[in-house]
Amino acid sequence: GAGVSQTPSNKVTEKGKYVELRCDPISGHTALYWYRQSLGQGPEFLIYFQGTGAADDSGLPNDRFFAVRPEGSVSTLKIQRTERGDSAVYLCASSSKRPGGTDTQYFGPGTRLTVL
Amino acid sequence: DQQVKQNSPSLSVQEGRISILNCDYTNSMFDYFLWYKKYPAEGPTFLISISSIKDKNEDGRFTVFLNKSAKHLSLHIVPSQPGDSAVYFCAATSTSYGKLTFGQGTILTVHP
């Protein structure tokens, strides 16, 4: 079946602009995660949705970052007033996790964001 | 505070030999551990996982060992193949959380 898809694959923007990154999870997966990976590092957690609600947004670095998942499927990560330090690969993952259970997260190919 | 550490940035092995990748963690709440493989320009691909109630899990050429008292896990690949060359990430989580905490990764190179 189809895996996690992310669009766009690459995004180049100028400092101060607004960007939206989209994630399409595996069909039927209730949990959706966003991570950010900088060069030479492992992915770092940003936010986790269980259904439509954000169950944990403790990884969002500041209030310029926001994510939504209005219908419990597709999610959009929104970054306002982008800064050069926001340049990274943004990864989305999904799983069939139920609250209180462990699970395997399956990742998309990522969106490479470059802020000039 | 790096809760998951992979202390070897790189590892080079000969085709057919064993590759051993190591990972240490500090958070006692972690009870589920995963290994992912990543090729350039792709997302991490799930390889194998282990629950804290086990000390070993095998899947084909891949075996993960967990030593809870030492807070250490390792991934063994036998025999190693050139196609295994990639970055390997160790990750940990808990039934209390959803998020994964990743190590920094180890670049594995398998020479023909």
Region of poorest pLDDT, from A55-59, A96-100, B99-103: A96-100
CA distance B52 to chain A (A): 11
- In this structure, the dihedral spanned by the alpha carbons of residues A34, B49, A109 and A99, taken in order and rounded to 10 degrees, is -30
- Residue A87 pLDDT > 70: yes
- Total number of domains constituting chain A: 1
Strand partners of residue A6: A23
Give how far A90 is from chain B: nearest CA, Å.
10
The arithmetic mean of pLDDT across residues A80-103, rounded, is: 88
Decide if B94 touches A, using CB distance below 8 A: yes
Q: What is the pLDDT of residue B7?
A: 92
- Give phi and psi for A33, each to the nearest 5: -130, 150
Please give the single-letter amino acid code of residue A77.
Answer: L
Question: Is B80 or A102 the better-scoring residue by pLDDT?
Answer: B80
- Give the CATH number of the domain where residue B27 resides: 2.60.40.10
What is residue A100's predicted lDDT score, i.e. its pLDDT?
64
Interface contact B89-A45, CB threshold 8 A: no
**Number of structural domains in chain B:** 1
**Range B62-68 average pLDDT:** 98
Decide if A111 is inside a domain: no
Residue of A30, A47, A102, A104 to mutate, interface with B, max B Cβ within 10 Å: A102
CATH of the domain at A60: 2.60.40.10
What is the domain extent for residue B81? 4-111
Residue A99 has a pLDDT of 64
**Domain housing A27:** 5-99
pLDDT band at residue A1 using 50, 70 and 90 as cut-offs: low
- Average pLDDT of chain A to the nearest whole number: 93
Whether residue B55 has pLDDT greater than 60: yes
Structure tokens at A96: 């069939």
User: Is the minimum CB–CB distance between A53 and chain B shorter than 8 Å?
Assistant: no
pLDDT cut 70: percent of chain B above it:
100
Tracing tokens 């944990």 back to the chain, one arrives at A56
